[in-house]
Amino acid sequence: MSGYPPILIVNPNSDEAVTEALSRAVENFRFAGGPAIECVTFSDGPPGIFTEQHVQEASLRFGTYAAERKDAGAIISACYSQPGVDLARSLTSVPIIGIQDAGVFTALARADLFGVIAVAPGSIPRHLRHLRRLGVDQRLAGEVALAEAVSVAESGVGERSFALLERAGCELVEKGAGAVVLGCAGMSGHRSRLAERLGIPIIDPTQAAVALALGTILTGDG
């Protein structure tokens, strides 16, 4: 039994298939004696976080949940728009990590310029606002949305979604990206194959967030 508090990965949408994909993506971070990694679904959330209204509603749910889970070692907002991160930080002393922050800074550690693949065009302005807030927008080679609509759950499985990811990734490489962040938590299933195909680091932001959470817990910096 681990003596560490658990890492909680929160899927703010109601799609259990996405939560299962998140759990598979972080399986290699589970080890004997280490912190448990729990994946949580907000069953009353929307099927995906696509609109600003979705983000704001999810923020309230995430903040409330984070305030209640005082037993956690770290809590991760596992949506690329990272709803509720700021609110939760005001309500609890537990480390709160957003996957966009973790993914972007991991990419910056691997390359001079990075790119992002978004699941839908409507998400890009929201993502860009956050990059400006972080002060890293000048190192963004570009953000490209998938050319056809797919659900969050579909974005990481099947040949159709992989072809769309590859197309977007190639466009980002042409723009100068030396690393690419997957801009949707559901895309994780294609990470390894896409990295092999493009020949550059492909960052799964949920994996990046868990790595950060593990470092925080194991070094006692929580």
Domain ranges across the chain = 7-98+206-218, 100-204
* Residue with tokens 């990481």, as numbered in its chain: 156
Rounded distance between C-alpha atoms, residue 77 and residue 55, angstroms? 11
Q: For residue 156, what pLDDT is reported?
A: 84
Band of pLDDT at residue 155, cut at 50, 70 and 90? confident
Strands 96-98 and 114-118: unpaired
Pick one of 3.60.40.10, 3.40.50.12500, 3.10.270.10, 3.90.1150.10 as the CATH number of 100-204. Answer: 3.40.50.12500
Rounded to two decimals, what is the model's pTM? 0.93
The residues, any chain, with a CB within 8 Å of residue 216's CB and separated by 6 or more, are: 73, 74, 95, 222
Dihedral pair phi/psi, residue 221, rounded to 5°? -95, 5
Q: Would the CATH topology of 7-98+206-218 be identical to that of 100-204?
A: yes
Q: For residue 2, what pLDDT is reported?
A: 66
CATH of domain 7-98+206-218: 3.40.50.1860
Rounded distance between C-alpha atoms, residue 55 and residue 13, angstroms? 10
Digit-coded pLDDT (tens) for 10-30: 999 888 888 999 999 999 999
The residues, any chain, with a CB within 8 Å of residue 105's CB and separated by 6 or more, are: 136, 208
pLDDT at 153 over 80: no
pLDDT at 90 over 90: yes
Rounded distance between C-alpha atoms, residue 6 and residue 28, angstroms? 15
Q: For residue 131, what pLDDT is reported?
A: 96
Of 186, 184, 149, give the one whose Cα is nearest residue 15: 186
pLDDT at 142 over 80: yes
